[in-house]
Amino acid sequence: MTDVATDSATDAPRAADRPVPYLLLAAVVLVAVPIRAAYGPIRDIDLYWHLLVGQDILSGTPVAEAARGWSFAPVPETWVSTQWLAEVLFARIEAWGGLEAMVWYRTLSTIAAVLVLAAVTIWRRPVRAGVWVFALAGLSLAITAEDRSQQLTFLLAPLVGWWAERLWRDGRLPRWWLVLPLVVVWANFHGGWVILPIALGLAALARLVDAGWRDPGVRRALLLAAGTMLAACVSPSGLDNALAARRFNASTMLIIEWQPVNLRDWTAVPLIGMLLILAIAWARGRARPSRGELVLVLGLLTFSVLAWRNLTPALLMLAPILTGTLARALGEPDPTPPGSQRPRLLRTSLAVTALGLVGALVMAAAQNPVIDPGMPRTLIADIAAAGAPQRVLNTYNVAGPLLWFGGHPPHVTVGIDGRSDRYGSDYSDRYENGLIQARPGWESLFDQLEPTCALVGSWEAIGPVLVKQRGWVEVGREGGFVLLRAPDAPGWSHA
């Protein structure tokens, strides 16, 4: 092999052998994504109740009994956390470094995720092909990185995509003794573990279409996918843990991240970019896609648009697969032949990237403020200072901060919180669309709940209605929130 490959017609060096611009773009992404993750206060409003669950478990409460008594909603207390490992980890992180340490968690987990993404799209793969999907998937990661358990899914999704690509192309599977223990941990950390059996099933179908049923990789993949479902049952919630995604899907349609993706939204730009790359590669590339490739790629794209929360994991899974698609379209070897990469150039790029990652960590350490300034801290402090326990009629998005900063349960209990699968769609709809919006019939649920105060958005209809029709007293306003109390509510001599 010669040192410089040339085009047969012009004897000019091919673009693939001039990797500097592509490596530069990769380095920019490797630095920009963690810096974006490091910047800004705590973003996830649910983090606070996850912290409380973790503290409850660490105090000795069994996982199956944690978070009881937080709400006065008339729904059974049968909820069991499916993310208890993440919640315990968060509680330990907060105990070690305060809420500031959660910004470090967000930054470090994003760094890990973007490095895994680079490993399956750029390392020992044609950089001209991999860098574009790496940049788009990295952009999606930068948009959605938060202080939440989903970070583990973001970290593992590129690896799952790489496993799916190897299964489809070569019939190769990861070792079961590695995958099944991983799923046990993953399934007790975040519900995103379901992308693994989904990817294995799609890749097995793609392999079946291209290689036939007699291919041993197909049967082994289906067995491994079934094994992951069993592994997910190794949990305090048992079989319910493996079926949690279905339960969430049935009870969270009022939450934006569970609604279908709108391609006109700016956060869908990475998906649109990947669709354009795919269309060009399939239409103008040197090799036409096989039927199996169509099954695998279109299956993952369909999964990506079913819900906003699917989008980033799906793009991270697609990244290694589309790297191969684009490489074949460009006529480049994948993986790259040994000795074709330039060690000195790679080392220089890695050194520059390392400096950028250190900068992201410095930014995380210096982040101020850590708590979202849009949170009504003063109003929540008023509730915490009340001389008696308070039953708070609350708007959905303030539940986590209210439980954390409002004096912790049982001093403060809420009408609803982020555990949507606990409340179910019927109650959530009655509460959010009926009671909080003061639509006809709201009195029925209100009288059943018997709240002592309300912390709601100033735009929500229930506030003025309570003042006019029930004689409630306005305690204060902050930002876009208003705090009200019942005229006979106990413990409000300070207000």
CA separation for the pair 224, 58 (Å, rounded) = 34
CA separation for the pair 94, 256 (Å, rounded) = 28
* Whole-number average pLDDT of the chain: 91
The alpha carbon of 26 is separated from its chain's Cα centroid by a whole number of angstroms, namely: 23
In a domain, 50, yes or no: no
Q: Are residues 155 and 265 in the same domain?
A: yes
Q: Are residues 353 and 473 in the same domain?
A: no
Q: Are residues 278 and 418 in the same domain?
A: no
Q: Are residues 361 and 381 in the same domain?
A: no
In a domain, 62, yes or no: no
Q: Are residues 405 and 359 in the same domain?
A: no
- Domain with 429, as residue range(s), is 377-485
Q: Return the DSSP state at 18.
A: -
CA-wise closest residue to 192 among 303, 322, 277 = 303
- State residue 5's pLDDT score: 42
Q: Are residues 115 and 203 in the same domain?
A: yes
CA separation for the pair 302, 312 (Å, rounded) = 13
Q: Are residues 342 and 435 in the same domain?
A: no
In a domain, 466, yes or no: yes
pTM: 0.93
Q: Are residues 133 and 273 in the same domain?
A: yes
Last residue in a domain, options 365, 396, 430 = 365
Q: Give the angle 179-180-181 at the CA atoms, nearest 5°.
A: 100
Q: Are residues 360 and 230 in the same domain?
A: yes
Give the 3-state secondary structure of residue 475.
strand
CA-wise closest residue to 489 among 447, 432, 451 = 451
Q: Are 136 and 294 in contact (CB under 8 A)?
A: no
- State residue 101's pLDDT score: 96
Last residue in a domain, options 325, 341, 365 = 365
Question: Cis link prior to 410 (omega < 30° from 0)?
Answer: yes
Give the 3-state secondary structure of residue 360.
helix
Instruction: Give, for all 495 residues of the chain, the pLDDT tens digit.
Output: 333 344 444 444 454 556 778 888 888 898 999 999 999 999 999 999 999 999 999 999 999 999 999 999 999 999 999 999 999 999 999 999 999 999 999 999 999 999 999 999 998 899 999 999 999 999 999 999 999 999 999 999 999 999 999 999 999 999 999 999 999 999 999 999 999 999 999 999 999 999 998 999 999 999 999 999 999 999 999 999 998 877 777 666 667 788 899 999 999 999 999 999 999 999 988 888 999 999 999 999 999 999 999 999 999 999 999 999 999 999 998 988 876 656 666 677 777 788 888 989 999 999 999 999 999 999 999 999 999 999 999 999 999 999 999 999 999 999 999 998 899 889 999 999 999 999 999 999 999 999 999 999 999 999 999 999 999 999 999 999 999 999 999 999 755
- For 288, left (φ over 0), alpha (ψ -120 to 50), or beta? beta
Q: At a CB cut-off of 8 Å and minimum separation 6, what does 62 contact?
A: 236
Element (H, E) at 299: helix 291-306
In a domain, 91, yes or no: no
Number of domains observed in the structure of the chain? 2
The alpha carbon of 143 is separated from its chain's Cα centroid by a whole number of angstroms, namely: 10
Q: Return the DSSP state at 194.
A: G
Q: Are residues 32 and 116 in the same domain?
A: yes
In a domain, 317, yes or no: yes
Q: Are residues 184 and 314 in the same domain?
A: yes
- State residue 248's pLDDT score: 73
What DSSP string runs through 29-97?
HHHHHHHHHHSSS---TTHHHHHHHHHHHHTT--GGGTTTTSB--SS-S----S-HHHHHHHHHHHHHH
322-331 confidence digits (pLDDT tens): 999 999 999 9
In a domain, 138, yes or no: yes
Last residue in a domain, options 330, 365, 400 = 365
In a domain, 80, yes or no: no
Q: Are residues 384 and 422 in the same domain?
A: yes
Alpha helices in 331-398 (DSSP H): 343-366, 377-384
Phi, psi of 451 (to 5 degrees): -70, 155
Element (H, E) at 297: helix 291-306
Q: At a CB cut-off of 8 Å and minimum separation 6, what does 177 contact?
A: none
In a domain, 328, yes or no: yes
CA-wise closest residue to 475 among 494, 459, 457, 462 = 494
